[in-house]
Amino acid sequence: MKKSYKRMAAMTMAMILAGSLAACQSKPAETAAPETTAAETTTAAETEAEKAGAYTPGTYSATVTGMKEMTVTVTFTADAIESIELEHEETPGIGEPVCESMPDQIIEIQGLGIDAVAGATLSSQAILDGVADCVKQAGGDVEALKAVKPEVVAAEDEELTADVVVIGAGGAGMAAAVTASQEGKSVLVIEKTGNMGGNTALAGGALNAVDDGSETALARDDSVDFHYEQTFNGGDQQGDPELVRTLVENAWDGVEWLKELGMEFQPGVFTVTGGMYERAHKPVEPEGSGFFKTYKAYMEDHDGITMKYNTTAESFIVEDGVVVGVECTGETGNKVTAKANNGVVLATGGFGRNVEMREKYNAETKLWPTLDESIPSTNTPAITGDGMLMAEAIGADLIQMGNIQLLPLGDPKTGSLSGNIEHAVESRIFVNKEGKRFVNEGGRRDEMTLALFEQPDTTMYIIMDSDTYPTGEEVNNFNETISSLVEAGRAYKADTLEELAEQIGVPAENLVASVEEYNRHCQGGDLEGQEDEFGRVLFTDTDKVNNGINNGPFYAAERVPTVHHTMGGVKINTNTEVIDKEGNVIPGLFAAGEVTGGIHGTNRLGGNALTDTVVFGRIAGKSASDYTR
């Protein structure tokens, strides 16, 4: 599943730029003899470069980690970076475009003074680090190359107008944009990064919805009322009942809408971690890429949606108490003014990457031991709470900001969900460094993560067998093959549980006992008074031949706590109108997605976030289209 990109610059340009770099590294001009001309000085510098060479010619490789592991291979001549090849599995729509464009930029300027790309910081920084490593191997001057920056030419200020302005090109924003377009409105989408995607692009893809009967054979008599009950109670009844009801009652209609747009789903339903029940629908495309392929396909077939990337919203434009647009800063620092004939939709996501905000609001609830920089996040680096602060500045009410969700499933290096080997809750267990289970693996996300904080080194291992990986080439929920994860050292594989225990460094007798106890429940071994000690009720079906963890080879993957979702945010009503601190509607402003608060309460059910983006994104797009002033 790995993708490789090779980028080569024209040799003439490379030699010119190499000469310029060599000149920068040569003796300063003021030390030259007075009678030496500039042309003679440049020629002398080039001659020195030719004699010494900026690099030892050859091809060098480095392995670095972006969202996932990547191999960077650079070929050098004596004077230039000739080509850059990347072998990677970065996320489509986020890291992947950077992998296509950044090597060209490095070669074009023959330098490393390129800023990390907003929204794809991990991917872009990994590329820069990998090339720097190769430069060092080739004997080049890394610090000198970091000083070489691309020339930035300031663009003209812009004034743009559309019927509906959407701020944020993530899942909720694009659902709103497409809906407004379907309502016959022109749409302008403002996005501070270089691509649509947001956190939705990094999601595992699970979308909770009680279907219309087509999946009920697998859904164990699920119902909209039961989805409501689990969502409302799962958030300790802090969610607004009307918003929760809106979410669950419109969920399946959202799935059908996506299908009408051309999005495909795998058959059946499953339980995602913290989802509490089998009602998650999984797209055919990996992660959240299917949503954006669908939205892009719509845009290709329909005019009227304009994307404005690398443009940061700064403040709302308010006229006579009505939100009519937004002031932005463009890619080159220019001013971009975007005005709406109808409504403005705020869909900028949460604040999972804003450590200052995390610590501030966690101090109010004291739910988590710490949310400082030592705790990573699954979120893209662009998710920093900007939209919430913009809304607060015009009087919007921010509610339940201390409700911050962590997952126990973070990659130990990056905090991302990639590398997670599980497919569904029923077929795996968690063990600590002692090889012992410590929590209900089918329970609430907050309860699982709080229990993980109490384990040695706040570390656990997911344990599975090969039922969902019969050949080793099958992919996880993030489009990574189990074989590639094992090869990269991000997962472990062994023919026996005893061998697996040795690989991950836990007592074999404990791991075997943990698996045997789990298997007893899978095989219908519950006796009166012998229910699972942690209250788990979700196991592989007893009528399956290979129920339980008993079919080698066996797999393990290390996981740590990671910030995943912020449930607090801008207060809205069921029409997605933003509410101020006095309880009044702020005219002209609508909000959807993780930027809002009051839906999920203290704890969000797994699989409800993507449902949230589709349901409330569509409502916001319709409401903003209908708004007149």
| Residue 97's pLDDT band (cuts 50, 70, 90) | confident
State the helix-helix crossing angle for 241-249 and 224-234, rounded to 10 degrees. 140
Tokens of 309: 């990337």
Q: What share of the chain is helix, strand, coil (3-state, %, to 5)?
A: 35, 20, 45
Question: What local confidence, expressed as pLDDT, does residue 15 receive?
Answer: 37
Residue, of 424 and 239, whose pLDDT is higher: 239
Specify whether the CB–CB gap between 210 and 252 falls below 8 A. Answer: yes
Per-residue CA distances from 42 to 21, 53, 146, 524 (Å) = 11, 15, 22, 82
Q: CA nearest 563: which of 374, 303, 318, 378?
A: 378
Question: What local confidence, expressed as pLDDT, does residue 20 receive?
Answer: 37
Domain definitions of the chain by residue range: 3-146, 158-199+287-350+385-403+567-626, 409-561
Residue, of 1 and 180, whose pLDDT is higher: 180
| Residue 90's pLDDT band (cuts 50, 70, 90) | confident
* The pTM of the whole model exceeds 0.85: no
Q: CA nearest 66: which of 375, 484, 374, 416?
A: 416
Task: In whole angstroms, give the CA distance from residue 623 to residue 164.
Answer: 10
Question: What local confidence, expressed as pLDDT, does residue 49 receive?
Answer: 36
Per-residue CA distances from 63 to 50, 74, 86, 129, 220 (Å) = 30, 12, 10, 9, 46
The predicted model gives 593-622 an average pLDDT of 97
3-state secondary structure of 244: helix
CATH 3.90.1010 fits 3-146, yes or no: yes
Specify whether the CB–CB gap between 342 and 184 falls below 8 A. Answer: no
| Type of residue found at 67 | M
* pLDDT of residue 92 exceeding 50: yes
Residues in the chain, overall count: 629
Specify whether the CB–CB gap between 18 and 106 falls below 8 A. Answer: no
Could you report the per-residue pLDDT of 386-428, keeping only the tens digit for each? 999 999 999 999 999 999 999 999 999 889 998 999 988 889 9
| Residue 528's pLDDT band (cuts 50, 70, 90) | low
Phi, psi of 561 (to 5 degrees): -65, 145
* The CATH number fitting domain 158-199+287-350+385-403+567-626, selected from 3.40.50.300, 3.50.50.60, 1.20.120.1200, 1.10.10.10: 3.50.50.60
* pLDDT of residue 187 exceeding 50: yes
Percent of the chain with pLDDT over 90: 72
The predicted model gives 150-154 an average pLDDT of 83
Residue, of 12 and 608, whose pLDDT is higher: 608
| Residue 527's pLDDT band (cuts 50, 70, 90) | low
The predicted model gives 125-146 an average pLDDT of 93
H or E element at residue 560: strand 554-566
Task: In whole angstroms, give the CA distance from residue 617 to residue 625.
Answer: 12
Peptide bond into 103 cis (omega under 30): no
| Residue 93's pLDDT band (cuts 50, 70, 90) | low
Specify whether the CB–CB gap between 556 and 461 falls below 8 A. Answer: yes
Question: What local confidence, expressed as pLDDT, does residue 9 receive?
Answer: 40
Task: In whole angstroms, give the CA distance from residue 114 to residue 298.
Answer: 33
* pLDDT of residue 2 exceeding 90: no
Q: What is the mean pLDDT of the chain?
A: 88
Per-residue CA distances from 201 to 86, 119, 204, 380, 381 (Å) = 21, 11, 9, 9, 13
Question: What local confidence, expressed as pLDDT, does residue 403 receive?
Answer: 97
Task: In whole angstroms, give the CA distance from residue 390 to residue 383.
Answer: 14
Q: Environment class of residue 61 by beta-carbon count within 10 Å: exposed (0-12), middle (13-18) or buried (19+)?
A: middle
| Residue 119's pLDDT band (cuts 50, 70, 90) | low
Question: What local confidence, expressed as pLDDT, does residue 46 receive?
Answer: 39
Tokens of 111: 């330098």
Residue, of 518 and 212, whose pLDDT is higher: 518
Query: Within 10 Å of residue 558's Cβ, how many Cβ atoms?
Result: 20
| Residue 517's pLDDT band (cuts 50, 70, 90) | very high
Which residues make Cβ contacts (< 8 Å) with residue 56, sequence separation at least 6?
76, 78, 138, 139
From first CA to last CA, the distance across the chain in angstroms is 51
| Residue 36's pLDDT band (cuts 50, 70, 90) | very low
Question: What local confidence, expressed as pLDDT, does residue 546 receive?
Answer: 56
The b-or-e profile of 266-302 (16+ CB within 10 A means b, else e) is eeebbbbbbbbbbbbbbbebbbbbbbbbbbeebbeee
Catalytic residue among 428, 437, 444, 445: 445
Q: Give the dihedral sign, CA 535/439/516/514.
A: negative
The CATH class given to the 409-561 domain equals alpha beta
The b-or-e profile of 420-439 (16+ CB within 10 A means b, else e) is bbbbbbbbbbbbbbebebbb
* pLDDT of residue 203 exceeding 90: no
The question of whether 445 is a catalytic residue gets the answer yes
State the helix-helix crossing angle for 11-25 and 95-109, rounded to 10 degrees. 70
